[in-house]
Structure 1
């Protein structure tokens, strides 16, 4: 009888894993769902203007380009996109906090003009672990995302004396925009346990922090970032999205969550995730995430080379009312129309892949594939 009771309790805990465990200050599921009920079907892109290689070049005073942003967001509005996921950086705050706030306010004004409410990303574990202010490097020919930078960089991450600076950045930027209805949500940390093995990590440049050290530091730091946002008074929902390493990865059982996934799921007001895989895999995954009882938004997808596409994924997500934010918008200095493995096999001498990996539009403003923009319009029409 005792064994049966234990099994019954375990079964109940698995069924209600999204309901029972919450970090202090986390929105209730009811509050999160009430917020989401007022939102349209959210569709957008991870956005950096075509003439910026990374988030620093996007927002530093010398290279901030409102005219290009306005032109490109007009294109997004034209296909019905209503959100964008946009990366910030702690060094922008360190460099010029007041100027950064003014430029971000200007950016939000352009977004509002085009009926777009962005999700703002505070930290990011992907790509170059040694960011530097000032003029950013030129793209490395033939390589995907060759100039993107992490926030915080490895030096700040490993130096605990710099963590108060990171706290000041989070509380400062969130506090400045805590009541701003132009902002959809705050994404506290992009792919916090990404070790960059195939670009800056152990399989390529080998300048990344050792995997367990980096992930261990961020696993301890991420709950604090959520609390800093809440202490700053954020009225928008908070999130940090786990990402799938393989289709068989099981998020349905909390016992199988990694320590980082546990932090992400238990602190997030809304559930976000990344999925670069097939439509069938998406169909199987969405009910698993929706059982957590909270709104669900996919904050990265659409990589043609791994069969992740607008035409297949958007109808599935719309039926489930799961927001969809693809990677990339206008092909430019990030070169993310090239595949991930271009780090190992660069596309030299102007050679392009037969099928673009990411991006919706070419530099001249024409769609890469008119059937895709038609699919976006179809999904976003009311």
Structure 2
């Protein structure tokens, strides 16, 4: 019995010994493996930019004719990604006056200058909001061992806002040239040396776009069954084709439709959304309707760090459809002045200014406009847009005076009354609302004012709706119910009395 117990004990000791040795070998192996592989940047970064596109300026490499070793596409893409991430991290650091992430993209010598600059700004209570919009890099040299690269980046378009004690003291857009040396460390590229060689003010010269032959007589359009979700799961070419025929037969020549920024995929525009938009434009062309395409619907950030993502979104949509015969104009944004209070007027106007340049740089043939919510804001950026558009839901007695004031302030641009209408709702939530007869009288009178002032127009809207998303007018039932009854056609498909005045 004693012998048996000794054998059991001996067996347990041997198994324990083997397990300890196996554990030690496994640990050493894991450590050896870790020390012989590149660092995992996703675990190193404090800015959490990996795996998510946060910075997408337009970047165009010059043809590769560098000295030294030829660079393959894999290395070039890695260099490009690390370079853009380095810009993004630097911009975040300049805005926050914190150094997190800098060490991941800059070597010891390069990061010292950045740290000193950030420290100085912090001590003087200065912060910088900045972004780059265009890059045109040239690979000058790639070493034989694949560890060093020299790049010159020309015509880098940089936008900056400098604040002192949170007060804006400088706003500028520059075109600069940078010379950089990159080192490959731990499996990714770091900037070792960066020099700004020259800089000058940026100026975009837009081509003058003729608008003499444009005469917009149209309507804002959503399908009745899926308003504010036109390109969603219920998208129907059959429905849209039927509606476009109704619009054309009513004597109108154009429709205004909306591209929602997030719904279309933000910077990574979804191909299936583009296809649905193309089908819609094709249907408009088939019945000889022109389309005012409103971009960035339901977008409301405007932050400088968002600009490159917004730029990518606009580039994809505008370049895809700029040659489509149905397009008559680009509307940069619907009612952006409603965001002045929450986002800051200067931020919104700077964003609009930049987006106008982006659209015009891609399409030099179609006019650009902005859908202001009232006549008071309409003169903003009047020298940048080709058509001045405004919405009017106020007292009709004041409209004639407002139009004459606008014509005095903006004598040489076409004016488009881009949204107008009145709800025919009168019920529990709004007992003193308007009737369908009141709605008809409204449209009769406003069409008389439109004709007298030689305005172009787009009314709101073809249909009454049974559903209004809360994002449109909020949750209050008296607002939602009123919004459901702006149409010329009721929820049962019958033309309301106002339909007689849909076009004149």
Shift of the alpha carbon at 1:77? 1.6
Shift of the 50–177 alpha-carbon distance from structure 1 to 2, 3 Å rule, reads same
Match of 2:53 in 1: none
Give the conservation status (yes or no) of the 8 Å contact 2:219–2:254: yes
User: Residue by residue, what CA displacement relative to the aligned partner does 1:113-163 show, whole Å, maximum 9, x if unpaired?
Assistant: 222111111123xxxxxxxxxxxxxxxxxxxxxxxxx12x54xx44x4432
1:52 maps to 2:226 = yes
Aligned-residue Cα RMSD (Å) equals: 3.1
Give the conservation status (yes or no) of the 8 Å contact 1:47–1:85: yes
Name the CA distance, whole Å, in 2 between partners of 1:81 and 1:356: 22
- SS where residue 327 of structure 2 aligns? coil
Paired residues in the alignment total 283
Name the CA distance, whole Å, in 2 between partners of 1:263 and 1:347: 29
1:89-104 equivalences under 5 Å are 89-91=260-262, 92-94=264-266, 96-104=269-277
Shift of the 342–222 alpha-carbon distance from structure 1 to 2, 3 Å rule, reads closer
Shift of the alpha carbon at 1:189? 1.1
Shift of the 89–367 alpha-carbon distance from structure 1 to 2, 3 Å rule, reads same
- SS where residue 374 of structure 1 aligns? helix
1:179 maps to 2:323 = yes
Query: Which among 366, 369, 372 is matched to residue 494 of structure 2?
Result: 366
User: Residue by residue, what CA displacement relative to the aligned partner does 1:234-265 show, whole Å, maximum 9, x if unpaired?
Assistant: 41100113332xxxx7x5xxxxx6xxx56432
Name the CA distance, whole Å, in 1 between partners of 2:259 and 2:246: 22
Name the CA distance, whole Å, in 2 between partners of 1:116 and 1:24: 32
Larger radius of gyration: 2
Shift of the 215–319 alpha-carbon distance from structure 1 to 2, 3 Å rule, reads same
Give the conservation status (yes or no) of the 8 Å contact 1:179–1:235: no
Match of 1:163 in 2: 307
Give the conservation status (yes or no) of the 8 Å contact 1:86–1:119: yes
Give the conservation status (yes or no) of the 8 Å contact 2:285–2:325: no
Give the conservation status (yes or no) of the 8 Å contact 1:25–1:230: no
Gaps of 5+ in 1: 1-22, 125-149, 196-209, 252-256
Q: Compare relative contact order (CA 8 Å, sep 6+) and give the higher one, 1 or 2.
A: 1
Match of 1:228 in 2: 358
- SS where residue 502 of structure 2 aligns? helix
Name the CA distance, whole Å, in 2 between partners of 1:179 and 1:281: 40
Shift of the alpha carbon at 1:181? 2.8
Query: Which among 197, 211, 214 is matched to residue 39 of structure 1?
Result: 214
Name the CA distance, whole Å, in 2 between partners of 1:375 and 1:213: 38
Match of 1:301 in 2: 420
Give the conservation status (yes or no) of the 8 Å contact 2:463–2:489: yes
Tell which deviates more after alignment, 307-316 or 186-195.
Answer: 307-316
Match of 1:87 in 2: 258
User: Residue by residue, what CA displacement relative to the aligned partner does 1:42-69 show, whole Å, maximum 9, x if unpaired?
Assistant: 3222111112141xx2113x33211111
- SS where residue 84 of structure 1 aligns? strand
Shift of the 96–224 alpha-carbon distance from structure 1 to 2, 3 Å rule, reads closer
Give the conservation status (yes or no) of the 8 Å contact 1:120–1:185: yes
Name the CA distance, whole Å, in 2 between partners of 1:227 and 1:237: 12
Shift of the 81–217 alpha-carbon distance from structure 1 to 2, 3 Å rule, reads same
Match of 1:66 in 2: 237
- SS where residue 87 of structure 1 aligns? strand
Q: TM-score, normalised by structure 2?
A: 0.50
Give the conservation status (yes or no) of the 8 Å contact 1:361–1:368: yes
Shift of the alpha carbon at 1:89? 1.9
Give the conservation status (yes or no) of the 8 Å contact 2:467–2:484: no
Give the conservation status (yes or no) of the 8 Å contact 1:73–1:111: yes
Shift of the alpha carbon at 1:376? 2.7
1:283 maps to 2:411 = no
Tell which deviates more after alignment, 263-272 or 105-114.
Answer: 263-272
Give the conservation status (yes or no) of the 8 Å contact 2:332–2:370: yes
Gaps of 5+ in 2: 1-202, 424-432
Q: When you count strand as a share of all residues, which structure comes out higher?
A: 2
Name the CA distance, whole Å, in 2 between partners of 1:241 and 1:366: 30
Shift of the alpha carbon at 1:347? 8.1
Name the CA distance, whole Å, in 1 between partners of 2:484 and 2:260: 28
- SS where residue 240 of structure 1 aligns? strand
Give the conservation status (yes or no) of the 8 Å contact 1:52–1:333: no
Give the conservation status (yes or no) of the 8 Å contact 1:175–1:234: no
Name the CA distance, whole Å, in 2 between partners of 1:112 and 1:90: 24
Shift of the 25–300 alpha-carbon distance from structure 1 to 2, 3 Å rule, reads farther
Shift of the 167–47 alpha-carbon distance from structure 1 to 2, 3 Å rule, reads same
Match of 2:184 in 1: none
Shift of the 341–184 alpha-carbon distance from structure 1 to 2, 3 Å rule, reads closer
Shift of the alpha carbon at 1:97? 3.3
Shift of the alpha carbon at 1:368? 2.3
Query: Which among 269, 284, 294 is matched to residue 121 of structure 1?
Result: 294
Shift of the alpha carbon at 1:317? 1.0
